[in-house]
Structure 1
Amino acid sequence: MSAGTIADERSDAAVVEPESDVRSHTRLWQRLARRPLSLTCIAYLVLLFVLAIGAPLVAPYDPFHPDIKLRLQGPSAVHWLGTDDLGRDTLSRLIFGARTALLASFQSVSFGAVVGITTGLVVGYLGGWFDRIAMRVADVMQSIPAVLLALALIGVLGKGLGNAMLAVGVIFSVSFMRITRAVVLAEKEQLYVDAARVLGLRTLSIMLRQILPNISPPLIVQASIALGTALLIEAMLSFLGVGIDSTQVSWGAMLETARQFQSQQPLLPIFPGLAITLSVLAFNLLGDSLRDATLPTGATAESSISRRTVAPFAVSPTSVHRPEAPADALLAVSGLTVAAPRPGGGSAELLSDVSFHVMRGETLGLVGESGCGKSMTALAVMGLLPPAVSIAAGSIRLAGTELAGLDDDAMRQVRGRRVGMVFQEPMAALSPVHTVGRQISDAVRAHTGLGRRQALARAAELLALVGVPDPHRRLQDYPHQFSGGMAQRVVIAGALACEPELLIADEPTTALDVTIQAQVLDLLMDLRQRLSMSVLLITHDLGVVADACDRLAVMYGGEVVETGNVEATFSHPRHPYTAALLAAMPRGEGVGSRLATIPGRVPPAWAWPQGCRFHPRCAHAVAACRQEPNILRHGVRCRRADELTLTDAR
């Protein structure tokens, strides 16, 4: 990458301004409002707050006034929820107990959040010896049971609600510190933090004004869940008699009293127990909703699946021009459009009207620069789209079976059994805590009725098939005991566990050196012939395409811009982008010669240019290219394909 390109990327990043807090909070409330369960929890908690604040006005009786004549009565028109052992009104005590529960919860969580978030920010951002000391202290504190630590602190500080909640706050501060540190470690590597440093901002300003707002969503979720936990701990401590004093009312103390007189009045423990249960559930469920709503797209994996399973899909307006795949094609992708919600509202098309096919026994190369949509296409075929990303239109047919719209259970029968996938990072694709034999045999057993020993024998056969020496012994090895090339062979063996009809190889040689790359490619081509398997090879290396593929599909800007036979396309490219890629291939030119480059870069999905998506970088663009989108006709998406001669561009 040139220095100019890096400078362009940094300048673009610098002009991207964060959203305003008002807009962010508005969208958060809009997302919560679309969730009935969230609204129910919010309504309950609002009611609880109102009762707690207005307890002296709302409670029908003095919660401390005894009336022995009315002791242990059941619900009646006078006392709606009955009375306790001293004749005090249960409803009034529940209302005042809400004040104690909420006050105690907010005291402990506020203390824990302030101390924990502050410490996490400092140790995560600065690191060094302070980080190591803080983490060792946190490890020691988390090794002690929370209740035992709380009781120990109360023993030192003395009995009382304030001391009890201070003890609970200390416990919470450790959790807040660990979460804050974890997200700060990732966030401080972002480009906007570097930009803030370049601008000369102080360290404290960067931590509080740059990093803290960006890491607030997980902290808000943690605080919501901690409120429920604190309420439960306060009730437990009061139940044990080490929480509140005699001048306060607590649901936990009410439960302790109810335990003593339960045989005389069975309804006595129901109401405080129900209040504790509903309040803790409300805080926890609200925390889950906040977690989902504060995702970048405000959606969960389940909602993504539900969108993928809605059928039939819409048909894009250009579908009438779409070429038909051969009837005997193994994989036929037609008009595939994949969309994701945009942070500012609306949606962005990550893939638009993608169409190609793979014949049986054929290797199709899917090529293009990074960001063109190659891996997203593979994930759409496998039904592994990220949360909130969904198929908006189009069809994916595997030997006549429609994959677009299948639910996750149905797709599980396709993955591994009929379609295998090899990822570009072998060490990331293998679990570091399980042996390779365990991982491959698990894949075998997931789709067959084989027992453990038979599956391990099959795993050894697969390792031998992909060229791993001494396969029976190496079944007991872990991924870190393999070199990069051998680890990639293990990944390929796992993908072939059930002899799939189609193998999707997503840049399988990117992380390997040149010699190992050639070995892995030779292995894939040999396996294709031996197993009569089709291969969809995703790569940005046209040399690999020339050596290994029968046909190719060139992608740019989320679209397929050209398809055809490898030899014919390399000799006579028809799309300017294909010609530019070929011209940029290194060919061992003489010393001092300059390598051809493509000006500019692939735009992000939310900023696709109007008209032809390649026209800002195309030397052959005319006015019409900037106005109307091109349609894939006769294997090329270019309105000037018939009038251009691009052979010399190589």
Structure 2
Amino acid sequence: MSTQQARAGTFRRLLRQPLTLFCLAFLGLQVLVALAAPLIAPYGPTELSVADKLQGPSADHWLGTDDLGRDTLSRLIYGTRTALLASGESVAIGLLLGVSLGLFVGYRGGWWDRIGMRVADVMQSIPALLLALALVAVLGNGLGNAMLAVGFIFAVSFMRITRAVVLAEREKLYVDAARVLGLRPVLVMFRQVLPNVSPPLIVQASIALGTALLIEATLSFLGVGVDTSQVSWGAMLDASRQHVAEHPLLAILPGLAITLSVLVFNLLGDGLRDAGSPRSAGSARPAKETTPDTTTVTETGDPTGIGPAALTDLTPDPATPAADPDQKEPRPALTKAPARVAATAPAAPADALLRVDGLTVTDPGGAQLVSDVTFHINRGETFGLVGESGCGKSITASAILGLLPKGVTVASGSIRLQDTELAGLTGEPLRRVRGGRIGMVFQDPGSALSPVHTVGRQLTDAIRAHSDLNSAQATERAAELLGLVGVPAPRQRLKDYPHQFSGGMAQRVVIAGALACDPELLIADEPTTALDVTIQAQVLDLLASLRERLSMSLLLITHDLGVVADSCDRIAVMYAGQIAEQRTVLDAFAQPRHPYTEALLAAVPHHGSGDEPLATIPGRVPPAWDWPQGCRFNPRCSYATDGCRTTPVPIDIDGVRCLRAAELQLAGAR
């Protein structure tokens, strides 16, 4: 969105807030009075006239005079300049120092956060006014020194507030999305996180303006604020103390000015916060979902996507005994003795694009979230990673991209993108990989896009992070990307905010961002979650067509076997942080060799009479700190033996992690 359009949206929201408009008008009047003080003040602020002292309102002195004959109206006008200058100076210092430090320690965390908060605790343990008086005593009297002291006090408050909101904001998906796109940490902090945490800072800044005015008035009232050459409302109150009985306006007028100014400052923050945020626009609605001409929509009555058409080529081999249709739980045919299990996984080709070898990821407590995961992805291939929630699919993807949560680390193993080792990669080399060579599509497009930036801004940031294009060229490239993923009227939609897109269109925007710099590998983590069936088909067809058109590889993470059947070449079934089975989709669906794969296939809804109950897998995936001994699936497996419960199970040369893989004859997809 252009600057003019952003301002127009803010202005429209302001028009719906009359109280905010009044506060802005009052503040604008004060600024005008302060700037034009020499022109509109009838007398100089320090001009004495002893003969006219303590006069009441008259034609010569509209608001009377003080004990030295100085014009009260003129001093109020010049006092406005002092009040605004003092408040603005102190709050500017507080914002610059406090927000920068709070953003840094909140985003970085760790020792930076601990040290920063200990310093803030010490500073805030001292009363603000007492600290200001101490700093003024050290630096000397004067408005500049007084407000410098107040600015340091405000910096601590702004730091704590910024740090608190950043701690929550940094865990949101759009921050990970910005890191995946390859934005430098400074850009992530100041261009992504800071605008999203600005609403509470706006409110705090408005409160601080009023507080600064009160502190300045208090210091001037005590005689340690402005010097004799300047005028302050606080100093006017101090001068009026001895003459309140005979001339009450001397105290009422500056007191009223202070009260109204503080009230306006406090009310203004809430209004500006609401007007400046596009999320407060209640009338904005997502655009109606449209089907782009470049996308083929697959309509099916099967909500899983697994229907007769999807599984036409997944018919079991005729040599495989068919299950008895009258037997609800077919048992396997057994051979005389179990086959020996090899301790090595299938070898990856030398030219594989991505090779994950023996990946083990642990949490801060030492529990293995992912254990000895090995797989590879060939060039131009769609590889599926499937399993229930909690099986380690997303953690594996996060390890590939270096996006593991704080405290979660790669304990062992290798992650190689061609000749680049990604495990342990940090800093600038990792940033060049993110977005430049690997893109990622997150499962929730609404969370993966920053709500306070237009999609054009977010796409151009990603493009410019990996190229030398100027702003105009990056905008042109962003429009091309939106057109590539099938967003209608792409140039116009660049100006829209994420909340103005429907779910399917927002997911297309996320895909466009992932493709911004032509990655070699695209990771799609549950890309069709929360989308209706028709839009799911559109997104899947779009990913497939983009993979072919751009000659990239695709890692598809999902728990939907219909998506796997429709999109993937090979599949790795994960359970409890391990690869249970890794084979081609055709082989895994037609002749599964791990009981977990069979159970997943049996639990998929299928066309039938409608009277047959839906199959389920008993129990649930255990937490990482409570993995079972032996085969991790054994508590839920109807084929488990005593050996399965006690013997660690490596993955065999055929890609199956099951002691009884050679003797079981499992049912394939129906």
TM-score, scaled relative to structure 2 = 0.52
What is the root-mean-square deviation in Å for CA atoms of aligned residues?
A: 3.7
1:284-335 CA-to-partner distances (Å, cap 9, x unmatched) read 99x99xx99xx99xxxx9xxxxxxxxxxxxxxxx997343211111011010
Q: Is the 8 A contact 2:592 2:668 kept in 1?
A: no
Equivalent position to 1:466, from 485, 510, 528: 485
| Offset at residue 405 of structure 1 (A) | 1.1
Q: Which residue of 2 aligns with 1:154?
A: none
Q: Does 1:638 pair with 2:661?
A: no
Deviates more, 1:222-231 or 1:414-423: 222-231
Q: Which amino acid aligns with 1:255?
A: V
Q: Does 1:328 pair with 2:348?
A: no
Q: Is the 8 A contact 1:574 1:644 kept in 2?
A: yes
Q: Does 1:411 pair with 2:430?
A: yes
| Offset at residue 481 of structure 1 (A) | 1.1
Q: Which amino acid aligns with 1:392?
A: A
Q: Which residue of 2 aligns with 1:564?
A: 583
Equivalent position to 1:485, from 488, 501, 504: 504
Equivalent position to 2:389, from 370, 393, 399: 370
Quote the Cα distance in structure 1 between the aligned partners of 2:438 and 2:133: 58
Assess, with a 3 A threshold, how the Cα gap between structure 1 residues 224 and 572 changes in structure 2: closer, same or farther: same
Q: Which has the larger radius of gyration?
A: 2
Q: Which residue of 2 aligns with 1:339?
A: 362
Quote the Cα distance in structure 1 between the aligned partners of 2:576 and 2:451: 35
| Offset at residue 222 of structure 1 (A) | 7.3
Quote the Cα distance in structure 2 between the aligned partners of 1:226 and 1:577: 53
Pairing of 1:141-160 with structure 2 (within 5 A): none
Q: Which residue of 2 aligns with 1:255?
A: 138
| Offset at residue 644 of structure 1 (A) | 0.6
Q: Is the 8 A contact 1:235 1:253 kept in 2?
A: no
Quote the Cα distance in structure 2 between the aligned partners of 1:503 and 1:541: 18
Q: Which residue of 1 aligns with 2:448?
A: 429
| Offset at residue 591 of structure 1 (A) | 2.8
1:7-40 CA-to-partner distances (Å, cap 9, x unmatched) read xxxxxxxxxxxxxxxxxxxxxxxxxxxxxxxxxx
Q: Is the 8 A contact 2:454 2:496 kept in 1?
A: yes
Equivalent position to 2:131, from 236, 239, 254: 236
Quote the Cα distance in structure 2 between the aligned partners of 1:394 and 1:337: 6
Quote the Cα distance in structure 1 between the aligned partners of 2:607 and 2:398: 35
Quote the Cα distance in structure 1 between the aligned partners of 2:669 and 2:495: 52
Match of 2:458, SS state, is helix
Q: Which residue of 1 aligns with 2:595?
A: 576
Q: Which amino acid aligns with 1:233?
A: A
Q: Which residue of 2 aligns with 1:395?
A: 414
Instruction: Report percent identity of matched pairs.
Output: 61
Assess, with a 3 A threshold, how the Cα gap between structure 1 residues 219 and 565 changes in structure 2: closer, same or farther: closer
Equivalent position to 2:467, from 439, 448, 464: 448
Q: Which amino acid aligns with 2:543?
A: L
1:95-138 CA-to-partner distances (Å, cap 9, x unmatched) read xxxxxxxxxxxxxxxxxxxxxxxxxxxxxxxxxxxxxxxxx9xx
| Offset at residue 501 of structure 1 (A) | 0.5
Quote the Cα distance in structure 2 between the aligned partners of 1:448 and 1:395: 29
Equivalent position to 2:528, from 459, 484, 509: 509
Match of 2:480, SS state, is helix
Quote the Cα distance in structure 1 between the aligned partners of 2:565 and 2:508: 22
Q: Which residue of 1 aligns with 2:269?
A: none
Quote the Cα distance in structure 2 between the aligned partners of 1:600 and 1:401: 40
Assess, with a 3 A threshold, how the Cα gap between structure 1 residues 401 and 340 changes in structure 2: closer, same or farther: same
Where do 5+ consecutive residues of structure 1 fail to align?
1-135, 137-142, 144-217, 240-251, 261-276, 302-317
Match of 1:555, SS state, is strand
| Offset at residue 441 of structure 1 (A) | 1.1
Quote the Cα distance in structure 2 between the aligned partners of 1:382 and 1:237: 48
Match of 2:126, SS state, is helix
TM-score, scaled relative to structure 1 = 0.54
Quote the Cα distance in structure 2 between the aligned partners of 1:602 and 1:319: 26
Q: Which amino acid aligns with 1:331?
A: L
| Offset at residue 401 of structure 1 (A) | 1.1
Q: Which amino acid aligns with 1:509?
A: T
1:367-407 CA-to-partner distances (Å, cap 9, x unmatched) read 00000000111110011101010000000011121110111
Match of 2:439, SS state, is strand
Quote the Cα distance in structure 1 between the aligned partners of 2:648 and 2:576: 12
Q: Which residue of 2 aligns with 1:187?
A: none
Q: Is the 8 A contact 2:590 2:668 kept in 1?
A: no
Quote the Cα distance in structure 2 between the aligned partners of 1:515 and 1:254: 72
Assess, with a 3 A threshold, how the Cα gap between structure 1 residues 221 and 405 changes in structure 2: closer, same or farther: closer
Where do 5+ consecutive residues of structure 2 fail to align?
1-19, 21-26, 28-112, 142-151, 177-340
Match of 1:492, SS state, is helix
- Larger relative contact order, structure 1 or 2 (CA cutoff 8 Å, min sep 6): 2
Q: Is the 8 A contact 1:551 1:565 kept in 2?
A: yes
Q: Is the 8 A contact 1:422 1:504 kept in 2?
A: yes
Equivalent position to 1:225, from 117, 120, 125: 120
Q: Does 1:595 pair with 2:614?
A: yes
Quote the Cα distance in structure 1 between the aligned partners of 2:516 and 2:616: 41
Q: Which amino acid aligns with 2:349?
A: P
Q: Which amino acid aligns with 2:616?
A: T
